[in-house]
Structure 1
Amino acid sequence: MDGDTLYSIGELARRTGLTVKTIRFYSDRGIVAPTDRSPAGYRRYNVDAVARLDLVRTLRELGLGLPTIRKVVDRELSLPEVAAAHADALAVQISVLRLRRAVLTAVAERGSTPEETELMHRLAQLSEDERRRLIGDFLDAVFGGLDATPAFAGAMRSMTPELPDNPEAEQVNAWVELAEMSLDPAFRAAMRQMVEDLAAEQALSDATGPHRDIAAAVRDQAGPALTAGIAPASPQADPIVAAFTAPYARLLGRPDDVDLRRRLATRLENVNDPRRERYLQLLAVVNGWPAPESLAPAFDWSVQALRVRT
């Protein structure tokens, strides 16, 4: 196009693909001002108007407001500065939309009540500091007074969810469910009991010499039995049961009798709380970890094997 040529608003519309109404709107707001007017008073635009309108259309499609666009085309603001600021704003909007989508997905999947929906929405909108305080309160209730020892301090860290800055919907959904669980007084009490049982056993171990965690010992004995298809009540299970009851008896300084096996069965039932396993599954999703192996089958087998021998 000739740089000296002036174009009517209709010609400009044909060249840019914008409507006459849109160009007039931008012109009235000073974003693309006419270069001149015809003797009859019609607006005339030079070739620069085409480039300005192309830029305006692009920025509008990217979501920028007209006041900002005017500053860009008038060179009051640099385009890179505006683009960076707008990208940051979009990142926040995307994060909010992901949270909303996750909440709505959870509501649809659960068939939630209005009260449950309100709680999920509130939990999903917590800031990072608020999330940390919520989980910190839960972990304090579970480990409080015991977290000075390295083992329990490490356990607290390993049970802390860290929702990423740009979470997937699955992670947000898992966070909401995990947060709901952490607020449940019954779950807190159950987890506290597990930790206190473990602390008591560790104290005995410190006094009598090193002993392996009984839950880990049971898991390692029962796992192969399950794989081999050994029934919990069968005679073939006798030596397997003895392999984990004997060290437990030594730990407690008690005989390997019916009372001890009842006590161990109760201990394993507490450890095998499905809520604990669900917490660990959700934790893995939130933190982007591999899904943990389910220990429920091994503990179920062990409890059955103990109960039939009491």
Structure 2
Amino acid sequence: MDGTTLFSIGELSRRTGLSVRTIRFYSDSGVVAPTDRSPAGYRLYDLDALLRLDLVRTLRELGIDLATVQRVLKRELSMAEVAAAHADAVNVQIRMLQLRRSVLRVVAKSGSSPEETKLMHRLTQLSGDERRRLVDDFVDGTFGTSGADPAVVAMVRAATPDLPDDPSTEQVAAWVELAEMVGDEDFRARMRRTAGHHAAQRTLDIETRAGSDLMAFTRHKLAEVAESGIDPLGEEATPIVDDVVRRFAEVFMRAPDAEFREWMAEQFAEAHDSRVDRYWRLVWIVNGWQVLPGLIPVYAWLVETLRGSRDRGADSCGRLPASSRASGLDSSHPVP
């Protein structure tokens, strides 16, 4: 083959893998003009046209639009400039596809309704700046007019949830739940009520009176069960809460009955709110932070299981139903 060889449009099609119709379109568009015509008027192309068509096909397969391809062929743009710009565009497309995949997995796992799916899609389509503004509005609306301690506001802002470019299914679900939560006025009131206590790290009265040894044991035990995912209202929680109640009852010289359980629940609920605790756990999930056992909001678990055990029917002396006592789980188990 030499530089004077001319190819018919059919030969170009066989050599490039492009259809005759596509080559004809590129020819009519001026991307690859014919070099000459046969005596019968058919288009003929030289080796340079073949090479240009190979380049056009490669660039189009990489997703580069035809107008940009023409500018490259005319040397108005360098390949480096085009490659860099389109690499950025592909990165954006990849992030969007990854996010779309995560949303679809959440929908498949949770069985979301069409309305929930639409909301989830809308919330995850927000840009990073829009997501930050959503949280900023929450912080300003929650603490802006309440005379809140600056340390509280700084704490909340420092933990701004930031959905990553390639979120997991769990992170997408957590972000959607957070986005709905921060717009709820009831939740904002709860956050105002409890955030000051957390920021100042004030000790509850029951913690002071119970003593450091009992509180250290309680936090350790509750951190274990909360991290392991034990349902506070399930049967597995019963022996744990009974043991904790019995230890506190001995220190406070009270009977471990339903009244004492309710008193404990009220004491521990003073500075802890289940929805606020849920907010912080969701922030950890969205940001991909490690959930440290010492930071798990264990008191919310304790309050829920205390009130749940009351509702399940511990008797007036704090004893469990006979079926539980028969399995050796009653509150008379000795303190080690």
Paired position in structure 2 for 1:208: none
**Structure 2 matches for 1:289-300, cutoff 5 A?**
289-293=289-293, 294-296=296-298, 299-300=301-302
Per the alignment, do residues 15 and 39 of structure 1 end up closer, same or farther by CA in structure 2, a change over 3 Å counting?
A: same
State the one-letter code of the partner of 2:125.
Answer: Q
Cα deviation, residue 224, structure 1: 4.5
Q: 1:173 to 1:298 in 2, by over 3 A?
A: closer
% of aligned pairs identical? 50
State the superposition RMSD in angstroms: 4.2
Q: 1:190 to 1:41 in 2, by over 3 A?
A: same
Does the aligned pair in 2 maintain the 1:232–1:304 contact within 8 Å?
yes
Amino acid at match of 1:108: A
CA 1:260–1:199: 2 relative to 1, 3 Å: farther
Q: Check whether the contact 2:269–2:303 (CA below 8 A) recurs between aligned residues.
A: no
Aligned equivalent of 2:329: none
| In structure 2, C-alpha distance between the alignment counterparts of 1:235 and 1:70, rounded to whole Å | 76
Equivalent runs, 1:104-253 vs 2, <5 Å: 104-144=104-144, 145=146, 147-150=148-151, 152-164=152-164, 166-170=165-169, 171-195=171-195, 202=202, 220-224=216-220, 232-233=241-242, 237-238=246-247, 242=251
Please, which runs of 5 or more residues in structure 1 have no aligned partner?
206-210, 246-258
CA distance change for structure 1 residues 127 and 241 in 2, over 3 Å: closer, same or farther?
A: farther
Deviation at 1:186, TM superposition (A): 2.9
Post-superposition offset of 1:161: 0.8
Answer yes or no: is the 8 Å Cα contact 1:222–1:298 preserved in 2: no
TM-score by length of 2: 0.68
Q: Helix, strand or coil: the match of 1:44?
A: strand
Q: Corresponding residue for 1:282? A: 282
Structure 1 residues 113, 141: CA separation in 2 closer, same or farther (over 3 Å shift)? same
Q: 1:168 to 1:147 in 2, by over 3 A?
A: same
Deviates more, 1:54-63 or 1:71-80: 71-80
* CA-CA distance at 1:56 after TM superposition: 0.7
Task: Give TM-score, length-normalised by structure 1.
Answer: 0.73
Whichever residue aligns with residue 166 of structure 2, its letter is: P
Farther-moved stretch of structure 1 (113-122 vs 194-203) = 194-203
Distance 1:263-1:14 versus aligned 2 partners, 3 A rule: same
- One-letter code of the match for 2:5? T
Relative distance call for 1:175 and 1:270 in structure 2 (3 A) is farther
In the alignment, which residue of structure 2 is the partner of 1:53?
A: 53
Matched, 1:85 2:85: yes
Q: What is the CA-CA distance between 1:66 and the residue it aligns to?
A: 1.5
1:146 CA drift (Å): 5.4
- How many Å separate the matches in 2 of 1:196 and 1:111? 38
CA gap of 1:190–1:236, structure 2 versus 1, over 3 A, is: closer
Q: Which residue of 1 aligns with 2:65?
A: 65
1:13 corresponding residue in structure 2: 13
Uncovered stretches (5+) of structure 2, i.e. residues with no partner: 225-237, 253-258, 311-315, 319-336
| Aligned-residue offset at 1:113 | 3.4
